[in-house]
Amino acid sequence: MYASRFTEAHQIYRKAVRDWCERVIVPNAEAFERDELTPREVFKQAGQLGFLGARFPEACGGSGGDFWYTVCWAEELARTGLAGTTMGLLVQSDMATPVIGEIGTQAQIDEFLKPALAGDRIASLGVTEPGAGSDVASIRTTARRDGDDYIIDGAKTYITNGTQADFITLAVRTDPNAVPSWAGISLVLFPTNTPGFSVGRKLKKLGNHSSDTAELHFDGCRIPRRYLLGEENHGFVYIMRNFQGERLVGALTAAAGARRVWERSLDYGREREAFGKPIIKFQVWKHHFVDMLTELDAGQALAYRSADLFDAYLRDPDNAPDPTREISQAKLYCAEMAQRVIDRCLQFHGGMGYMEEYFIARAWRDTRLISIGGGTSEIMREIISKLIGL
């Protein structure tokens, strides 16, 4: 059903992304993992080739495509097996920037969004804090008015692209006395060359090593009020809406990445012999691979249904149904499904699967983040339960 959504133009775009990934990302995987960083030049190339802005309007510096271009982009990045680089690039194209295109002023679009989509400025999304993860309403980083400026104090943590970002789409508290607390949150655009800003430390992660993740500190940072995104104290609503795209690309990359591991594991099983025959010929493993394929197809169907609904919502938000439930279901299922599939594939590789130099070990480590980042599986279940009236 959803295969029909991919036009010839989508397929040409997908092939261009795949060719670029195989030429630029895959051969440099070990270097990116070792340096714990995807170089700035990769962002620049992705921008120059039009990958970062494929679904943004031309007025924003994009190509005017639909969300199915993001589906192609996310799936091809996931196929590289380099989850950190995938995350860093998707933060740039689908997490830190869409809200600027939706509610930003023309001046903000010109100063921040267009250079980000061109790959000239690296973006981060600054929401999570040391004491506030999934509970966004509890953030403590403050933005206090001072004439025509805001003065920002606080800290953020687990920020992807944090060590090299040129600007941050930053969640701040502008009304410390708001009741309920979420009603006092705003979004601002924060240039990282602002005096008083510092990167606390580059964090060491279990997986996703090819992306830089940082603690950020704000000490009396003064920015102009014209960097406020949308309306003051409406930031929580913007963040929750922006989360839908983030969670959907998480589901898409989980499903596509797990499928690529399944394919590579199947190839391994055809070549590796035990007791005189390829190990994939043993009935127990044939059945496991059938079960995994069924889960992969189910996850992709959930993700594609969500992409269809989200695309309609982006085109006509006033008349299209809210896709939050379906996206939450896709994020929940694909994240946990990918972990099950990749864990089983690691088991299939035996001792080789436990070796760091083999792709399956990295995939196993990297996939563990998907049920945490962008809203934990527990939060997804809570959202879904409320939306179905439980």
Place of tokens 């309007």: 57
- Is the separation of the CB atoms in 244 and 310 below 8 Å? yes
pLDDT at 136: 87
The class that CATH gives domain 236-387 is: mainly alpha
pLDDT at 2: 59
- CA-to-CA dists, residue 299 to 130, 367, 382, angstroms: 32, 15, 20
Judged by DSSP in three states, 293 sits in helix
Residue 13 identity (one-letter amino acid): Y
Catalytic residues: 246
Mean pLDDT in order along the chain per 10 residues (390 residues): 80 97 96 96 97 95 96 97 96 96 96 98 95 84 96 96 97 94 95 97 94 97 98 94 94 97 96 91 95 98 96 93 96 98 96 91 96 94 96
Domain-wise residue ranges, the chain: 2-122, 124-233, 236-387
pLDDT at 132: 79
Question: How far is 67 from 265, CA to CA, in rounded Å?
Answer: 30
Which CATH number, 1.25.40.80, 1.10.540.10, 1.10.1060.10, 2.40.50.140, labels domain 2-122?
Answer: 1.10.540.10
The class that CATH gives domain 124-233 is: mainly beta
Give the phi and the psi of residue 302 in degrees, each rounded to 5: -60, -45
- Is the separation of the CB atoms in 388 and 329 below 8 Å? no
pLDDT at 5: 85
